A and B are shown apart, each in its own frame.
Chain A
Amino acid sequence: MKRRDFLAKALPAGIVMPALISGFSFKAFGASQLLSALTAGNTETDRVFVIIQLNGGNDGLNTVIPLDQYDNLANARSNILLDNKKILTLSGYDTGLHPALKGLSALYNQKELQVIQSVGYPQPNFSHFRATDIWLSGADSNQYLNSGWVGRYLNDEYANYPVGYPNSVMADPLALQIGSFISPAFQGPSVNMGMAITDPVNFYNLINGIVEPAPQSNAGKELTYIRQISQQTQQYANVIKSAAAKVPNQNAYPTNNTLADQLKIVSRLIAGGLKTRIYMVNIGGFDTHAQQAVSGATETGAHSVLLAKVGDAIKAFMDDLKFLGASKRVIGMTFSEFGRRIKSNASLGTDHGAAAPLFVFGEGIQAGVLGKNPTINSLIGNADNVPMQYDFRSVYSTILQNWFCVPGTSLQNIILKDYQSLPIIKPMYTCAGGMVSNLDPNKDVGKNIISNYPNPFSQRTNFTYESAGGHALIQIFDVQGKLMETLLDDIKDKGSYNLTFESIKLKAGIYYARLQNGALQQVRTIQVVN
């Protein structure tokens, strides 16, 4: 039974469906039959999520600067360090943005930008390709998935796609990539759920010959694939063209900025009324092993040019959406396959690293900085990395749950595990039952929720931690981000707890203990000595 059929039958007539749906608390139903009935059809939403991929591994520490760590940062990367007088500070936090990110700084001041600190995953991979696959598929470090996270989401919503699509309920492409190459993120369990376009106005007419049954062979498989693309292209070309035609005028965008060019198409199609939920755009060049900054004028150079493009494009995009009256429907996110090493190299560049900040933006986003500044130790080895605070799948999971109103059981199938829900979406925009707490509870609490004594220690130390109630997790990572041990993974009632940690397996050195409790987390630096 389709979800809307069910609702129509089960509820008094005269209630407007979308309002009702957003008034539901999915969590209250748990795993009831009602919930499975609800998830059988696709959700009514006009919400859009725009994903901006920064290919190459963006240097997080020169994008979002932990100002309270400036001295140690100066030790680790003096040749590319930004002049702290030029850094754009984020009011209310001891955190700043690269001077080239004027556009994002303006969005922050308009309360439409959130910085999420140190996003990554356990056991970071330093290969571009593997790390990209991990981010796009939503896999664990050692897990190989052949589908993308967006593809799994869309497959959950539109189970039979492409059979029977387009149709009167969903007449538009499910997901659009601006460009000629469809992201593996859109790969569903069996077919790719996305479509690629470079120009929404001009489509070339495709002609299908006689369609006869394809042979049962590899050739037949590929023939069927090409026929399907051909068919979809023809079917969707008209809806895209007519959406574009409805928006003859747009606000100004920066020129010589490929990201701005792509976002301009996205905003036109959104305002033109496409029901497409996910858009993906990208900008490359972030693999800055060398010459990322100019010696003596570190606010200039290759990285600065790239960041300016990103900030300016996003700002212009949001301004345009406001101009077109569509801004309330849209949020966006930037991500890169990894951050870069804490220590810079001698070529004015940085090598492949691990966790890094990401940006989420839009009127529906809780403005601010989520998480603490990463701790930069005074002695930094060549291979040391920023430890993760937030798993990237927590971000995906939160957006699906609180922006697209995906219920918990479906989330399991899409994200494959339980991840903490984060305060990303403003309460008034959040689907009922989702996370509605205020941004950055750590900051409000203003105290350590995990500590240990003695520290440094040999062999054993005692952790004290606090649970606000609910699931609590304590993990130990080494400085390269490798997960060494999980000390706790359990439901803990509100209260203060102690836990003894025997460190016999760990060599001497610096480690990070990460506590995760609901939307809270904190990372504590610990040191093992012999």
Chain B
Amino acid sequence: MSIAKYNGSFGRLELIHLLKRTTFGAHIKDLDTFKGKSLTEVLSILTADRAIPSPPVNTYNDATFTDPSVPINQTWVNANYDDGTTNAKRLNSLRSWLTGVIINQKSSIQEKMMLFWHNHFALESGIVADARYMYKYFALLQKFSVGNFKTLVKEVTLDPAMLRYLNGYLNSKTAPDENYGRELQELFTMGKGVNSKYTEADVKAAAKVLTGFKIDGIKIESNFDTTKHDITDKQFSSFYNNSIIKGKTGTAGASELDDLINMLFLQNEVAMFICRKLYRFFVYYEITAQIEQEIIAPLAQTFINSNFEIKPVLIELLGSDHFFKSQNRSCFIKTPLDLMIGICREFDVIFPDASDAATQNVLWLYLKSLAANIQLNLGDPPNVAGWPAFYQFPQFYEIWINSDTLPKRNQFTDTMIGAGITRNSKKIVIDPLKYVTNFSKPEDPNILISEVLDHLLTLPPTVNLKQQLKNILLSNQTSDYYWTDAWNSYLQSPTDNVKKSIVLGRLQTMIKYIMNLPQFQLI
């Protein structure tokens, strides 16, 4: 086992494996975009720096509500707070916007990394309780999605939403608040691994370093109140080589944060911790002693050598032989977003466009709420540790699936292949007739089934499964040409409802069957 580069063939199955892990669902258009490109080229496109999506706008004015300071289709991110009702509208606007950003993601790892950081630097919009703060936080995560981790730690520390969420703004020399000083080490940089040996005294010392940061509620920025800063020297434990962070007076006090981050990042454990987390987010949750030594440790070294740039680590991990090993395929249980948004993207489900932005946002928000019902509430993780499926021994991803959530997952896929979801007489639904035209020979049931299975399931299909699907397409007839004839006569008269319903019904049944399979939950 090693982190050596992958040298095997990079065909359609490898591309699908890579896309399902790095984007939400392998979009049928991305399969075309990347066709024929080498792994190196694909990774360079996926990890390229991208602009931050344009901010959310007012789509929520209606007969009963008008935003006091933001006209329709204008962004509210720099507006006055106004009042609680307005803020609640904007928070929903933010949540639906986030969902829309993921649904409309480009061929990029940016959105998966946004989720990674949102889980890593977890905070809850319900508690921050100001949509404008939450927008700034997500814009920061998008900006740094493949950026420098060390810089991001500093930016997050000073982020107004984080200052509010972990009470950093209340941390002063007379009343030190340890909340952020603790999570900075336990959750954001050092982790809880066996080699992470900071002490309670380190938590208190870090809290003292961080005294004095406040929030400017008008500009929504952090600032530094020299009178609230603890100017004494801060003594750290032997884990940090008994370092002392010299107390500084006046505005120089703010730079103690840099001293603190520099001290934290001298520990190898920071790189190890983040690399383990990336591994669990992209490969598999089980980290054996061998994986720790032969995969995580060299990745961490790459991370340190690049001064904590994320991109080289991602390219090394996702371009490695290890990532493409059959042992590491199809073993990732889809997050609720991989499942729900994955379906929308893999079947290229059409949403109302910007001309009906209100309905578009309502549908996005509805999808967000369905994902929340199966445990992933975008914008509101359960607590500052993020989602248990990413950290909780020994179950990890299996936590996503239980007797409550599995039926709800199936209910969702059944709805999408069946009646669809309708709001304001606009419907989102899987269109199987359009979907199968993406494949090379929809009229040939054998080729069609193979290609559909390659796209929708990463676990290699068995002969029995293929036969079962063929039985559906052929209504248990034995000759392939029954399907071929049915498909061809539909193509000749696409408006003939009888001919259409013959192929549509069978395709719906087949796709429903595939999505109900336990292996559909795996990527």
Binding site for B on A (CB under 8 A): 55-56, 126-130, 146, 179-182, 184, 187, 192, 195-198, 203-210, 212, 215, 217-219, 221-223, 225-227, 229-230, 232-233, 236-237, 284, 287, 289-290, 345-347, 349, 351-352, 382-383, 480
Query: How many residue pairs between the two chains, A and B, have CB atoms under 8 Å in the bound complex?
Result: 157
- How far, in whole Å, are A35 and B385 apart by their CA atoms in the complex? 44
Contact of A182 among B186, B284, B402 (CB under 8 A): B402
Asked if residues A204 and B408 are in contact (CB atoms below 8 Å), the reply is yes
Q: In the bound complex, do residue B167 and residue A347 qualify as a contact, i.e. CB atoms below 8 Å apart?
A: yes
| Cβ-defined contact, A290 with B170, below 8 A | yes
B403:A223 contact, CB within 8 angstroms: no
Contact with A along B386-424 (1 / 0, CB 8 A): 001001111101110111111110110000000000000
- The reply to whether A180 and B374 contact each other, CB–CB distance below 8 Å, is yes
Q: Which A residue's beta carbon lies closest to that of B285?
A: A218
Q: 21 A-B Cβ contacts within 8 A?
A: A126-B200, A128-B383, A128-B384, A128-B385, A129-B391, A180-B405, A181-B388, A204-B410, A206-B410, A206-B516, A207-B516, A210-B465, A212-B462, A217-B331, A222-B333, A223-B518, A225-B398, A233-B407, A345-B170, A347-B167, A383-B204
Question: Does B175 belong to the interface (CB within 8 Å)?
Answer: yes
- B9 at interface by CB-CB < 8 Å: no
Kindly identify, within residues 86 to 107 of chain B, every residue whose CB is under 8 Å from any CB belonging to chain A.
Answer: none
Given A129, A182, A204, A290, which contacts B407 in the complex, CB threshold below 8 Å?
Answer: A204
CB nearest neighbor in B for A351: B178
Contact with A along B363-379 (1 / 0, CB 8 A): 00000000001110000
B492 at the interface (CB under 8 A from A): no
User: Which residues from chain B contact A349 at a C-beta distance below 8 Å?
Assistant: 167
Contact across chains for A345 and B175 when beta carbons are under 8 A apart: yes
Tell me if B395 and A226 are in contact (CB < 8 A). no
Given that A209-B517, A219-B522, A226-B333 are contacting pairs, would A197 and B327 also be in contact in the complex, using a CB cutoff of 8 Å? Answer: no
The answer to whether B182 and A209 touch across the interface, beta carbons within 8 angstroms, is: no
Q: Which residues of B contact A226 (CB under 8 A)?
A: 333, 401, 406, 518-519, 521-522
Q: How far is the CB of A241 from chain B (nearest CB, A)?
A: 13
Min CB gap A381→B, angstroms: 11
**Please, which residues of chain A bring their CB within 8 A of the CB of B459?**
215, 219, 223
Residue contact B399 to A347, C-beta cutoff 8 Å: no
Q: Which residues of A contact B522 (CB under 8 A)?
A: 219, 222-223, 226
Q: Is B74 located at the chain interface by the 8 A CB criterion?
A: no
Instruction: Report the separation of the CA atoms of residues A128 and B388 in the bound assembly, to the nearest whole angstrom.
Output: 13
Please, which residue of chain A has its CB at the minimum distance from the CB of B414? A204
Find out whether the CB atom of B403 lies under 8 angstroms from the CB atom of A232. yes
B360 at the interface (CB under 8 A from A): no
A289 near B284: Cβ-Cβ < 8 Å: no
Beyond A180-B405, A195-B403, is A218–B327 a contact (Cβ under 8 Å)?
yes
Are B407 and A203 touching (Cβ within 8 A)? yes
Query: Top 9 nearest A-B pairs by Cβ distance?
Result: A346-B175, A218-B331, A204-B407, A219-B330, A233-B403, A226-B518, A347-B170, A196-B404, A196-B402
Chain A positions within 8 Å of B518 at CB level: 208-209, 223, 226-227, 230
How many angstroms between the C-alpha atoms of A219 and B518 in the bound complex? 11
Binding site for A on B (CB under 8 A): 167, 170, 172, 174-179, 182, 186-187, 192, 200, 203-204, 284, 286, 326-333, 373-375, 382-385, 388, 391-395, 397-399, 401-408, 410-411, 459, 462, 464-465, 468, 513, 516-519, 521-522
Main secondary structure of the interface of A (DSSP, over half): loop
Q: Which residues of B contact A289 (CB under 8 A)?
A: 167, 170, 177, 179
B residues within 8 A CB of A217?
Answer: 326-327, 330-331
Docked Cα-Cα span, A184 to B393, in Å, equals: 9
A224 to chain B minimum Cβ distance, whole angstroms, is: 9
Contacts of A229 in B (CB 8 A): 401-403, 406
Q: How far is the CA of A222 from the CA of B398 in the complex (A)?
A: 7
Bound together, the chains give a CA A226 to CA B326 distance in angstroms of: 19
Beyond the given A205-B407, A212-B465, A221-B331, please list 14 additional residue pairs across the A-B interface where CB-CB is below 8 A.
A126-B200, A129-B192, A130-B192, A206-B516, A209-B518, A210-B464, A217-B331, A222-B333, A223-B459, A225-B398, A225-B401, A226-B401, A345-B176, A347-B175
Contact B192 A209 (CB under 8 A): no
Closest chain-B Cβ to A447's Cβ sits at a distance in Å of 36
Report how far A351 CA is from B518 CA in the complex, Å: 44
How near does chain A come to B452, taking the closest CB pair, in angstroms?
15
CA distance A205 to B409 in the complex (A): 11
Task: Determine whether the beta carbon of B468 is less than 8 Å from that of A209.
Answer: yes
Q: How far is the CB of B129 from chain A (nearest CB, A)?
A: 12
Q: Which residues of A contact B176 (CB under 8 A)?
A: 345, 382
CB distance from B289 to the nearest CB of A (A): 15
* In the bound complex, CA of A128 to CA of B327 (Å): 34
A209 to B374, CA, bound (A): 22
CB B22 to nearest CB in A, in angstroms, measures 18
Known contacts: A222-B333, A229-B406. The answer to whether A146 contacts B375 by CB under 8 A is: no
Cβ–Cβ < 8 Å partners of B170 in chain A = 289-290, 345-347
Contact A209 to B513, CB < 8 A, known contacts A179-B404, A223-B519, A346-B170:
yes
Q: Which residues of A contact B397 (CB under 8 A)?
A: 222
CA of A127 to CA of B402, assembled, Å: 27
* CB neighbours of B203 from chain A (8 A): 126
* The one of B385, B513, B519 that contacts A129, using a Cβ cutoff of 8 Å: B385
Q: Shortest distance in angstroms between A69's beta carbon and chain B's nearest beta carbon?
A: 23
Least CB distance, A110 to chain B, in whole angstroms = 34
> Quick one: given A126-B182, A126-B203, A229-B402, are A180 and B465 in contact (CB under 8 Å)?
no
Q: How far is the CA of A130 from the CA of B374 in the complex (A)?
A: 25
With both beta carbons as reference points, the residue of chain A lying nearest to B192 in the complex is identified as: A130
In the complex, chain B residues whose CB is within 8 Å of the CB of A227: 518
**Contact partners of B374 in chain A: CB under 8 A:** 180
Alpha-carbon gap, A362 to B315, bound state (A): 58
**Among A205, A206, A284, residue most surrounded by chain B Cβ atoms (within 10 Å):** A206
Residue of B nearest to A198 (CB): B404
Complex interface: chain B residues within 8 A of A126 (CB): 182, 200, 203
B402 pairs with A195, CB closer than 8 A = yes
What's the minimum C-beta distance from B520 to chain A, rounded to whole angstroms?
Answer: 9
Chain B residue with the shortest CB-CB distance to A221: B331
Q: Are A218 and B286 in contact (CB under 8 A)?
A: yes
Residues of B within 8 A of A209 (CB): 465, 468, 513, 516-518
Which residues on the A side are within 8 Å of B405 (C-beta)?
180, 196
Known: A195-B403, A229-B402, A480-B200. A181 touches B375 (CB 8 A): yes
Residue of A nearest to B394 (CB): A146
Give the complex CA separation of A129 and B174 in angstroms.
Answer: 28
Are the C-beta atoms of B406 and A233 separated by less than 8 Å? yes
Q: CB-nearest residue of chain B relative to A181?
A: B375
